[in-house]
A and B are shown apart, each in its own frame.
Chain A
């Protein structure tokens, strides 16, 4: 009995230890996976879209790496203008495109500035392309709204 109990006790201790180890290990793997999923689902943006329709408004969609999409819609009546602005961001000075919203209380004022392409941060030449098309559509919208 005695001769047998020693190795058996050793074995149980060993199994318990490896079990404990694997528990920590699996927990670590689980948390990492969860973190990764969370990152893909909430942080990493794969694609940003700006859809502007002159009779309706502006829709901004960002699709996350997991496939989740979040959409913001601004109706045309609220949009004052689309402009390119400069800002100090981290250790850089960047250009960004933003939408200016009308102030409902005080019409010539601006109530809010909504930045576009926040995660992609395209460079100036790209922004100018987008900016030009936006301005064309906005000008068209203003023409049609004032002509009738």
Chain B
């Protein structure tokens, strides 16, 4: 492994757009990219963005690309670590400000990010989530360094309140000179295009996926004498927990043979506990608290009907997971949800207690009359819809397209900022971009690119991990180490 790294010094220090694979790879592709995923959100933090980055990276590695992930340090987890298949993760020691998002001064992260981009010979920066300050920082620096940039937006946003006005402005600045943007649903694309005033041609829609083998139905786990409604979501305002607290008493009064199982934790848990107390439903409403991702399936298979009460959702992974487990899904008609599942697998309602109760009653009626398809059949239909391999393939097409495009040179970038982002913001950020550029020149003078050791590739066409015995890499408690005997 080590000798391969030594050979890396022969490469030109300038970032090559792509490398030609040696041809001994099983994949037929000749174009491979060095991709760097940047986001504040990664494991051990749990959530949709985290699993999206992980799964997408794994599938891209499988397709012969080199992938690294950059995120911020989580407690004691800092430094460099390797995950399955040699996926390299940099946990950078940056200060966390709010909600696992790092503080940003726009400049302080440049030295480390530049060092990583140079030593890993990154050609494409792929940032995730508009809530992540680090993702925007990385985009900003990558454009200064002349690297290709891709951004994936995972959430929907409003236009009216102060915080969204500010975030939208920031997003406009950040995305106006980004090469390509990926959204998870058409609703999300529409939303992002409007928020960031983008040209819709550079926005692609690639949905999320679920691993269908993780979510298989198990009809023997549920009791058919009672109907069980499952809710799995974080108990927060956005997920419509207030609606849920209105639905529970109404449905429970109407149907005596019906139970609720609620998985998830959050600030709104207290109102559910109040409802349970007030209507004496302790034995019928089960609150499980926070669930680990691996336990979600075991909870889902205990139910007949899955209820989703989200008020806003770009692409709802939870309903796909539930449908994959063979549950009838009842959901609110918001955001990208109507695009996710075909009409015969989902009952859509307005986000109100009355409409959701009607939807549930319809589902219960269908269940009692035996009109619902068997869980196994639902699973077989759903498992073909969203797979990570498909997502990776489509993302790869975006990379191929981006690799052929030119990165805006500094003068054009400044023009774009000034003309695109309004007079005040435009000039401020153009000035900041100039400062960033000067800072980069200073850093290049302090430590020239030629003095930076090229990292040993763990993945990709020259990946030491995929081409040599995997057992040589052993895990240690603090770091993972190389060895080559």
Contact = CB atoms under 8 A, between A and B. Distances in A.
Interface residues of A, number: 23
A110 B475 CA distance: 11
B119 A93 contact: yes
Contact of A128 (B5, B80, B116): B5
Contacts of A81: 483
Interface stretch (A26-34, A40-48, A82-90): A82-90
B476 A88 contact: no
Contacts of B90: 88, 93
B116 A93 contact: yes
B482 A85 contact: yes
A128 B79 contact: no
A10 interface: no
A135 B485 contact: yes
A93 B80 contact: yes
Contact of A91 (B79, B111, B485): B111
A95 B454 CA distance: 10
By secondary structure, the B interface counts as mixed
Nearest to B479: A85
A92 B80 contact: no
Of B92, B93, B483, the most chain A CB neighbours within 10 A belong to B483
Interface centre among B2, B454, B478 (most CB of A within 10 A): B2
Nearest to A91: B111
B453 interface: yes
A135 B3 CA distance: 14
Contacts of A135: 484-485
Given A91-B111, A124-B453, A83 B6 contact: no
Contacts of B455: 86, 93
28 contacts: A81-B483, A83-B481, A83-B483, A84-B2, A84-B481, A84-B482, A85-B482, A86-B479, A87-B80, A88-B90, A88-B92, A88-B93, A88-B112, A92-B111, A93-B80, A93-B90, A93-B112, A110-B476, A110-B477, A113-B478, A123-B453, A125-B6, A125-B9, A131-B2, A132-B2, A135-B484, A135-B485, A139-B485
